[in-house]
């Protein structure tokens, strides 16, 4: 897949206010400091697409980006899809009321957005399994939302530590799940995992177009 164009479209306070669900949509979510903006910029090859911040919790609405892709540079046939940046869960310097409002907004979006094909849950590869991440995954399993895992910041820790943390996380999931989700290990700095994630999206786009 070659990203021909990626641009910010709209920020919505609820799933009802989101753009018309007329194309496949892929949402990205994770803890507030997981490196989501950097990952989105890396995937789209656009460093200015999603705003990165040192202050966790900056994303407060459902942010839609319009993506136009082709199989390879120069191809005439274009595919249009939505990339969605969701508010992070966990640490954020906001009131409990605001946090609950976010949680309800995210839950409604994940459960009711009809063109949502896949949710990519971002996990910080530098850490051992965290309860916040495991609890969130437990919820999307309960809601029967299709998802994959992306382990981020793989360049910021030794490879042996990253591998151990990924293995530990998957083992924790295996305790309660019969089937493990697809997972990717990524680095926004080294662009690790980019091609594999885009390949999955490309395959899902093709499946969507053949079964609209």
- pTM greater than 0.75: yes
CA 60 to chain centre: 15
- Gyration radius of the chain over CA positions: 16
Helix orientation angle between 194-210 and 36-44, rounded to the nearest 10 degrees: 70
Residue 87 confidence (pLDDT): 86
Residue 55 confidence (pLDDT): 47
**Would you give per-residue pLDDT tens digits along the chain (212 residues)?**
999 999 999 999 999 999 999 999 999 999 988 999 999 999 999 988 887 655 445 567 899 999 999 998 889 999 999 999 998 887 556 677 777 888 899 999 999 999 999 999 999 999 999 999 999 999 999 999 999 999 999 999 999 999 999 999 999 999 998 899 999 999 999 999 999 999 999 999 999 988 76
Rounded CA-CA distance 197/154 in Å is: 15
Domains and their CATH numbers in the chain: 2-205 (3.40.50.300)
Question: Residue 154 carries which DSSP code?
Answer: G
Residue 50 confidence (pLDDT): 84
């Amino acid at each position: 897949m070659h990203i021909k164009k990626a641009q910010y479209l709209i920020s919505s306070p609820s799933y009802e206010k989101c753009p018309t669900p007329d194309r496949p949509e892929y949402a990205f979510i994770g803890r507030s400091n997981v490196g989501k903006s950097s990952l989105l910029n890396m995937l789209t090859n656009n460093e200015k697409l999603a705003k990165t911040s040192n202050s966790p919790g900056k994303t407060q609405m459902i942010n839609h980006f319009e993506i136009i892709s082709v199989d390879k540079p120069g191809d005439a046939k274009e595919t249009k899809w939505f990339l969605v940046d969701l508010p992070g869960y966990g640490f954020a310097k906001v009131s409990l009321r605001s946090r609950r409002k976010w949680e309800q907004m995210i839950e409604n979006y994940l459960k009711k957005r009809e063109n949502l094909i896949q949710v990519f849950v971002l996990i910080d590869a530098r850490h051992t399994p965290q309860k916040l991440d495991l609890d969130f995954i437990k919820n999307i399993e309960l809601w029967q939302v299709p998802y994959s895992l992306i382990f981020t910041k793989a360049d910021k820790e030794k490879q042996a530590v990253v591998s151990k943390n990924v293995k530990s996380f998957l083992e924790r999931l295996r305790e309660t799940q019969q089937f493990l989700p697809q997972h990717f290990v990524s680095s926004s700095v080294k662009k690790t995992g980019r091609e594999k994630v885009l390949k999955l999206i490309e395959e899902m786009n093709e499946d969507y177009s053949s079964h609209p």
